[in-house]
Amino acid sequence: MEATEILFLIIAAITVISAAIVAFSNKIIYAAFSLLLTLFGFAALYVYLSADFIAVSQVMIYVGGILILILFGVLMTQRIYDVSVKSERNPVLPTLLTAIGSAVVLGLIIFKTPWRQVADSGYAPITERIGQAIMGDFLLPFEIASILLLAALIGSVFIARAEEKK
């Protein structure tokens, strides 16, 4: 086994285990910091898939933006030193049914489908091709996404602002 494959297995293990901690941890702050490891693991997996631009975007947007927002939400809404949490979770039976059902379906799809395997295309910088595609074929979705971001910005500021006293 090559060194890159061993590193890949370590990264995959870190990603999956920290995702499990996010799902099963009862302390929400542990889940938030574990989500940090998961997002970094995904960025490393994107590098293995020769998606360098998306790996950097992942680190900047998810780790630098969304995770900070989530930590902000945790610290604003949760008394983190309050350990007497009575019922943190929903009943376990629907969760178990959902998890097993989706696991069976996804496992059947993954292992029964004859995937068309192509030769490894190697690692090449891809940012230039992404820029040309966004400015070419995907120009309309790009503009719509910018309008969506503006609307989300204004809407979230409007929702989250303090109510004026009359």
Partner 1 sequence: MISLQTYLIISALVFIFGLIAVVNKKNAVGILMGVELILNSVNLNFIAFAKYVDLSIKGQIIAIFVIILAAAEAAVALAIVLNIYRYRSTIDVTTVDLMKN
- Matching residue, tokens 């590098």: 47
- Contact call for residue 30 and partner 1 (CB under 8 A): no
Paired tokens of 74: 């945790």
User: Scanning residues 124 to 143, which ones bind partner 1 (CB under 8 A)?
Assistant: 126, 129-130, 133-134, 138, 141
C-beta separation of 19 from 39 below 8 A: no
Q: Any residues with CB less than 8 A from the CB of 77 and at least 6 apart, and which? A: none
Q: Is 33 in the site for partner 1 (CB under 8 A)?
A: no
Whole-angstrom Cα distance, residue 81 to residue 27? Answer: 10
Interaction of residue 103 with partner 1, rule CB under 8 A: yes
Spatial neighbors of 58 by CB under 8 A, at least 6 apart, are: 39, 42, 43, 46
From candidates 111, 112, 140, 166, binder to partner 1 by CB under 8 A: 111
Q: What is the closest distance, in whole angstroms, from the C-beta atom of residue 32 to partner 1 in the complex?
A: 7
Q: Site for partner 1 (CB under 8 A): which residue of 83, 112, 160, 164?
A: 160
Could you say which residues in the range 42-101 bind partner 1, by CB under 8 A? 42, 45-46, 48-51, 53-54, 57-58, 61-62, 65-66, 69-70, 72-74, 76-78, 87-90, 92, 94-95, 98-99
